[in-house]
Amino acid sequence: MSDADALLSGLWAQDQSPAQDPAFVIAVMQKVELQRFRLDMAWLVIGCFAAGVVFWAVAPLIEALARLAGPLTGPSTIGPVVAALAMAALLWSWISDRPQPAV
Amino acid sequence: MMSGSGGTELDEDRELVIQALSGSSAAFARLVSRHQQAVRSFLRRLGGPAADADDLAQETFVTVWRRLGQVRADQGVRPWLFGIAYRKWLTLRRSDARRGARDAGTLEAQAVVHSGSDDRLDASAALAVLAPEERACVALCLAAEFSHAEAAQALGLPLGTVKSHVTRGRARLLELLGASDERR
């Protein structure tokens, strides 16, 4: 290594960041997980809205089926059950996509 | 100091990208840990306070996470990652300029050049006398041990331009430091 190279190496060493910096990695991962959470929430809201539209569109069909099924499964019973099932499916899809602990 | 881009390291980077793409936060954290030193040092050398450089480095890694799917298999992670960091720095610099902020780095460098008595010259102050592209080429090829081809890929510049920026930048830096370059 020439004197010039040694001089430049010394210069670069002054601005060198630490080789290991867990605090920096954690700060980055916090931002990443926040972004991931926001994306998940956005998809969850979109999914809920889409499911609501679908159920609104097929509500007459469900009511007709419920009437055919008899008094025990009337519209007042099947509505909350379908809503609860849809919510459970959405929650399950969200929970199953949760990331692993990073550090 | 950042290690060279050997085949094993490239393979490990690719493996980590694949795992991160499949949702592994641990793999992405490992990728950040592997490259944080080089990216932060690069941004510090480009100019500005260390805290700003670290904020920019964090933003760089968040952008990397969002765009992980865009890594090209033939390109490697390192040049792509530094390209994002460089473009973020350029954007910040332009927005500072639009706000009418004075270029503190240039002023600092001018002070160093004119005083001639500061023996604790730091790299960012010394590099601030160079043009931004020249600064980036020198910071990558001389400090971060990038090949000229890798630097050209990262900065989106022709290979010949990178080579001439590195040669001129090195000569100017040595002139500033009062050293002679035996390689010339």
Q: Tell me which chain B residue has its CA closest to the CA of residue A29.
A: B29
Where do runs of H (alpha helix) occur along A1-103? 3-14, 22-69, 75-96
pLDDT category of residue B63 using cuts at 50, 70 and 90: very high
Separation CA A2–CA A82 (nearest Å): 77
Q: How many CA atoms lie within 13 A of A14 on its CB side?
A: 15
Which of A3, A19, A31 minimises the CB distance to B37? A19
pLDDT of res. B6: 54
A9 versus B35: the higher-pLDDT residue is: B35
Please count the residues of chain B: 184
Distance, CA of A66 to CA of B183 (rounded, Å) = 88
CB B21 within 8 A of CB B64: no
CA angle A82, A83, A89 (to 5 degrees): 90
pLDDT of residue B111: 44
Closest alpha carbon to B101 in B93, B90, B109: B93
Rounded distance between C-alpha atoms, residue B124 and residue B52, angstroms: 13
Q: Which residues of chain B approach chain A closer than 8 Å at the C-beta?
A: 1, 23-26, 28-29, 32-33, 36-37, 40-41, 44-45, 54, 57-58, 61-62, 65-66, 120-124, 126, 142-143, 170, 173-174, 177, 179-183
Q: Locate all alpha helices (DSSP H) within chain B, ordered by sequence.
A: 7-21, 25-46, 50-66, 77-98, 104-115, 123-127, 132-138, 148-155, 159-177
User: What mean pLDDT value characterizes chain A?
Assistant: 80
Pairwise CA distance, residues A97 & B129, whole Å: 49
Residue range B127-184, pLDDT digits in tens = 888 898 999 999 999 989 899 999 999 999 999 999 999 999 999 888 888 776 655 4
Domain spans in chain A, listed from the N-terminal domain onward: 19-95
Would the CB atoms of A17 and B40 count as touching at under 8 Å? Answer: yes
Banded model confidence at residue B49, pLDDT cuts 50, 70, 90: confident
Higher pLDDT: A57 or B5? It is: A57
Question: Does residue B110 have a pLDDT over 70?
Answer: no
Burial of A7 (0-12, 13-18, 19+ CB in 10 A): middle
More reliable by pLDDT, B112 or A50: A50
pTM for this prediction: 0.74
pLDDT of residue B117: 43
ipTM of the complex as predicted: 0.77
Q: Is A98 on the interface with B (CB under 8 A)?
A: no
How many A×B Cβ pairs under 8 Å? 107
pLDDT bin (cut points 50, 70, 90) of residue B126 is confident
Here the tokens at position A17 are 């960041």
The pLDDT score that the predictor gives to residue B115 is 44
Q: Select from B110, B175, B108, B173 the least CA-distant residue to B142.
A: B173
Q: Quick one: pLDDT band at residue B36, thresholds 50, 70, 90?
A: very high
- Cα distances from A13 to residues B9, B142, B176, in angstroms, run 23, 12, 17
If phi > 0 it is left, if psi is from -120 to 50 it is alpha, else beta; for residue B107 that is: alpha
Q: Which of these ranges, A57-71, A88-102, B35-49, B138-152, has the smallest mean pLDDT? A: A88-102
Residue, of A95 and B76, whose pLDDT is higher: B76
What is the rounded distance in angstroms from the CA atom of residue A17 to the CA atom of residue B35? Answer: 11
A73 token code pair: 């499964």
Q: Which residues of A touch B143 (CB under 8 A)?
A: 8, 12, 15
| pLDDT band of B114, cuts 50, 70, 90 | very low
The answer to whether residue B3 scores a pLDDT higher than 70 is no
pLDDT at A74: 58
CB contact under 8 A, B23 and A2: no
> Could you read off the pLDDT of A17-71 as tens digits, one per residue?
888 899 999 999 999 999 999 988 999 899 888 988 888 888 888 778 777 776 6
